[in-house]
Amino acid sequence: MQRPSIASVMEVERPLVTPLAHDALSARLIARTGFRAFAVGGSALLATRFGLPDIGLIGLSDMTAGIRDIAAATELPFFADGDDGYGDVKSVARMIELYEHIGVSAILIEDQSRTTLEQLRTVGQMLRDRGLHSAVLVSDRTHMLRSLRIARDQGIEAYGSPTTTSPAASPARRAACC
51-69 pLDDT per residue, tens: 988 777 788 999 999 999 9
pLDDT in tens, 108-143: 887 555 677 777 888 888 888 888 878 877 777 777
Q: Which helix (H) or strand (E) holds 122?
A: helix 116-129
Number of domains composing the chain = 2
Residue 118 placed within a domain: no
Residue 119 placed within a domain: no
86 & 10 share domain:
yes
Query: Kindly report the CA angle at 100 between 99 and 103, in degrees rounded to 5?
Result: 90
pLDDT for the residue 20: 94
Q: How far is CA 88 from the centre of its chain?
A: 19
14 & 96 share domain:
yes
105 & 155 share domain:
no
- Alpha-carbon dihedral of residues 88, 125, 1, 15, nearest 10 degrees? 100
Burial of 103 (0-12, 13-18, 19+ CB in 10 A): middle
94 & 17 share domain:
yes
131 & 75 share domain:
no
Q: Where among 113, 138, 165 does a domain terminate?
A: 113
